[in-house]
Amino acid sequence: MKSIHTPYYVLHIVTSLLSVLLLLGINANAQKFEHLAQTPPMGWNSWNHFGCNVDEKLIRATADAMVKSGMKAVGYEYVNIDDCWHGERDKQGNIQADPKRFPSGMKALADYVHKKGLKLGIYSDAGWTTCGGKPGSRGYEFQDARRYAEWGIDYLKYDWCATEGLNAEGAYMTINRAIREAGRPMVLSICEWGDNDPWEWAAPLGQLWRTTGDIYACFDCEYDHGTWSSWGVLQILDMQDGLRQYAGPGQWNDPDMMEVGNGMTQEEDRAHFSMWAMLAAPLIAGNDLRNMSKQTTEILTNKAVIAVNQDKLGIQGFKYKAKKGLEVWFKPLANGEWAMAVLNRNNHDSKFEFRFRHEQVSDELSKRKINFNEEVFTWRDLWNKENTGDTKAFIKQNIKRHDVLMLRLVPAGKWER
């Protein structure tokens, strides 16, 4: 009987056997492109704002806006198409872009994005279908990776819907191997929502892994979908506790894409962006870049905050203390510098006071310490750059509800006795 499905069955058997062998320990050759994402990836993704409403016109316009807005100039480079770009597979099993939404094809779109000095990302799923019901990569992993390489894709977000019977580590080993064999360096974004503790096994396979379920544009909320929930900024921030030791150059905890510009207040957007910077999280914008307000643009292009996120040490920040709804965070930076953030979780403005000489900061992970009685730091407010000082004096400041105070501390020398 003539059947167009034969290539699928062959590939499914091969990839299933490969996953089993890898899980049995024959994974010594599992490796990724090591030079990628040495600092947290920066870019944009279509899902948060547009969902399944994606087409090539939107992606081209977004690439244009990333350049025009100044985002490219401060480090954003990936333009990532999320779910629902897919058409049907052809008779050979090759995945195709939806011809109505992407009539020029993915290769032409990648060429357009590359000419802008940017990189193009795409989405697939380890299961039979994507979360949006489009064709998944299960059984087609190697074929799809070759296809993406032919198109010139630079980044693959790989989701975890419709994965019944699959082992997460094995499935991501398979797509890792497929990308390697395709020969084109691609960032692999592992997106199984932290359900299988990816921080314990994902570093050799991908450059970033989701640590939580999906974010949505609320600062302090849970959206109950029945069998799963979407989470607000504070909820996702709290879920990062205990994970910082797994992050570093080329391997990042991913608390999901940002919601800056998607309906929260200016203060909430600023706090959201600041805390993702402190977490050394990927800075993947999720708003409509074509129609940003001046305030949103200024938040997303704040060079001083981005510099904290992109610090070459790649150390994730940590919560130093919390009291009465105010959290104080520190992040070790290169050259003996530190970032400090004070997050106001309260639903009201709060007075903050920090007497540096009464504090000693110690980070077991980086083996870095600050004794403010022995060393003086100058500091600059990263959102209000006219606000400066040093650690000889104490800080006393009012912080608006759901806002943040963010400082960069630079060594100024020893205390003069």
Query: What's the rounded Cα separation, in Å, for the pair 17 and 29?
Result: 16
Which residues are 29's β-sheet partners? Answer: none
The alpha carbon dihedral of 51, 52, 53, 59 has a sign of positive
Distance CA 84, CA 329 (A): 38
Strands annotated E in 183-309: 187-190, 208-210, 222-224, 229-231, 252-254, 283-285
Nearest to 69, CA basis, from 223, 312, 291: 291
C-alpha 394/C-alpha 379 separation (Å) is 11
Catalytic residue list contains 254: no
Which residues, other chains included, contact 224 with Cβ-Cβ below 8 Å and sequence gap of 6+? none
Active site residue 144: no
Which listed residue (144, 159, 311, 403) is catalytic?
159
Q: Which of 55, 82, 154, 214 is catalytic?
A: 214
Residue of 293, 288, 401, 387 whose CA lies nearest to 340: 387
Helices 168-182/6-23 angle, 10° precision: 110
Residue 109, token pair as written in the block:
């779109």
At position 315, the amino acid (one-letter code) is I
DSSP 3-state assignment of 141? helix
Q: Which residue has the tokens 């407010």?
A: 381
Q: Residue 360 carries which side chain, given as an amino acid letter?
A: Q
Give CA–CA dist 301/70, Å, rounded.
7
Tokens 């914008």 belong to 285
Is beta strand 350-354 parallel, antiparallel or unpaired with respect to 388-390? unpaired
Give Cβ neighbours of residue 251 (< 8 Å, ≥ 6 apart): 37, 202, 203, 206, 207, 208
Residues known to be catalytic: 159, 214
